Structure 1
Amino acid sequence: MPSFHLAKGGFTSCKDEGFTLVEVIIASTLLLTVIIFFIPLISQLDKELSILDNRRHIVHALHDELQIYLWTKESLPHSSKEQINNQLVELSIEKDLIYIKGCAQWENAREKMEEICLYGIPPN
């Protein structure tokens, strides 16, 4: 097996081919640390992205539903359950002083109840 010798300034080194056990342990530890850190981080980011995406779709649907009650003389209060973006959402619309209030309630990806309300003033 050939070996490589360095001789410079009185320093002589013999370089063997391949990894030593210490290098393998350090590389494995570093790789596992990166994996253990990034997998939960990516999972959490994916969950938060899902929550924001659902919230956006639900607010959009609530806005569209509220417009019907702002521009027509539909009877109030109104309550319904709808599937929005694969999420069961309870929509409720009611009169609140001079406003028409529309609220949406659902359970998000973190299994917490979330509620968003929009208000509109009907034309006279």
Structure 2
Amino acid sequence: MNCNKHYNGFIFTEIMMSFSLIIVLSLTIIPIFYQLTTEQMNLYYRREIHSYLHDHLIARPFTNTDTNHETFMVKQVTVNINYTFESPLWKGCASWKNEKNQNETICLFYYPTD
């Protein structure tokens, strides 16, 4: 019986070390996981907006040289698209605020084959 009392301090120290290791690991993994999910959403928005802009540049009937404006939504993000004529190309630029609340812009050019 007397022998077990000598190990009480060791068990307490072992529990504290295990607990502190779990805390340190969780405090490092949670911000990394948050950063990964934020970047994943930013890449999703870029991909969807880029695809939308590409498809509409090709399918849109450009008949005049005026500036055209369009707005659409990707999930909860509002995207503004401006089409301008820069001879001999049409330029389409999409701008939006990403998950980090920073402004992003993607521009594509289209050469009409009339």
Same fold by TM (over 0.5)? yes
Gaps of 5+ in 1: 4-14
TM-score (norm 2): 0.86
Deviation at 1:86, TM superposition (A): 2.6
Q: Percent identity?
A: 27
Deviation at 1:88, TM superposition (A): 0.1
Map Cα deviations across residues 12-39 of structure 1 (whole Å, 9 max, x no partner).
xxx969x711100110010000000000
- 1:61 lines up with 2:91 in the alignment: no
TM-score (norm 1): 0.80
The alignment partner of 2:48 has SS state of helix
The alignment partner of 2:112 has SS state of coil
Q: 1:83 to 1:116 in 2, by over 3 A?
A: same
Q: 2: CA distance between counterparts of 1:66 and 1:84?
A: 17
The alignment partner of 2:55 has SS state of helix
The alignment partner of 1:20 has SS state of helix
Work out which of the residue numbers 112, 117, 122 in structure 1 matches 2:112: 122
| Structure with greater strand percent | 1
Work out which of the residue numbers 11, 15, 18 in structure 2 matches 1:27: 18
Gaps of 5+ in 2: none
> Which residue number in structure 2 is paired with residue 42 of structure 1?
33
Work out which of the residue numbers 75, 97, 100 in structure 2 matches 1:107: 97
RMSD: 2.2
Q: 2: CA distance between counterparts of 1:82 and 1:45?
A: 26
Map Cα deviations across residues 37-71 of structure 1 (whole Å, 9 max, x no partner).
000100010000000001100011111111123xx
- Give the aligned length: 111
> Which residue number in structure 2 is paired with residue 95 of structure 1?
85
Deviation at 1:73, TM superposition (A): 3.8
Structure 1: 4+ residue segments shifted above 2 A: 72-76
| Structure with greater helix percent | 2
